[in-house]
Structure 1
Amino acid sequence: MNLFYRILLYFQKHGYYVCQRIADRLGIRAKVVRTSFMYLTFVTLGFGFALYLFIAFWMHIKDLLYTKRSSVFDL
């Protein structure tokens, strides 16, 4: 079980924080979004996981292309 917790900790530290970002945008708790993805994955036999990976990829690309500038002088 120790290996399982190390892997879980790695993904929690280095993940894309997809659920957290979706929850912040919708104004709900991240736990609700995570459980929704888990239920969706079990019910649809993997579609929820595929959706999660697609959203993670899309957010990563968006972050690479769009940078937030704090002032006009950052151009």
Structure 2
Amino acid sequence: MIPKDDFRFQSHVLLVELDAATTKLMMLVVAGELSGSHWEEALARQSSAYTAWISAAKGIQIDPMPALDGRPNDGSLTSEK
């Protein structure tokens, strides 16, 4: 897999987990369960999912130069013109 596709796949997995963990936490808020073991577990899961996503997102490297110097946007050093 090329790095961009690999990142997209990893991002999808991490964001699905973050969404599920956040949804569970919101369900507990709606139910009024703001303490106890279920709350602590859901809070830990959401915090862990958020931390994992932020760690992955910090690794994004954006190269603004291809648009300016004519290089292809796939990270290679040669242009196919």
TM-score norm. by structure 2 comes to: 0.36
Larger Rg: 2
TM-score with structure 1 length normalisation? Answer: 0.38
Higher relative contact order (CA 8 A, sep 6+): 2
